[in-house]
């Protein structure tokens, strides 16, 4: 993947730096994540942004760390 230099507002960089630290990402990775969430939110206006963000994060998890989905109605109590 190639990279491109661009100017970004310093306030946005500060916010990305704080969020990146909390999410264990680089600042660049945080801005890219926000861009992906924003693009997906524009493409899917009926979905909550939190759902989109969580879906993107789950897609990035290694497959071997995932658990199969079991609906509550099928779970044994």
Domain residue limits, the chain? 32-57
Backbone φ and ψ of 31, nearest 5°? -65, -40
Question: pLDDT confidence of 75, banded at 50, 70, 90?
Answer: low
Instruction: Please state the pTM of the whole predicted model.
Output: 0.71
pLDDT of residue 66 exceeding 80: no
Report residue 8 as tokens.
Answer: 């970004």
Say if CB 27 and CB 17 are below 8 A apart. yes
Q: Which tokens sit at 16?
A: 């990305």
Averaged pLDDT score across all residues of the chain: 90
pLDDT at 77 over 60: no
């Amino acid at each position: 993947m190639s990279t491109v230099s661009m100017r970004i507002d310093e306030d946005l960089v500060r916010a990305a730096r704080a969020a990146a630290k909390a999410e264990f990402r680089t600042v660049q990775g945080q801005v890219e994540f926000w861009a992906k969430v924003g693009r997906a939110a524009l493409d899917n206006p009926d979905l909550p942004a939190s759902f989109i963000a969580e879906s993107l994060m789950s897609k990035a998890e290694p497959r071997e760390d995932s658990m199969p989905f079991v609906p509550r109605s099928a779970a044994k109590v």
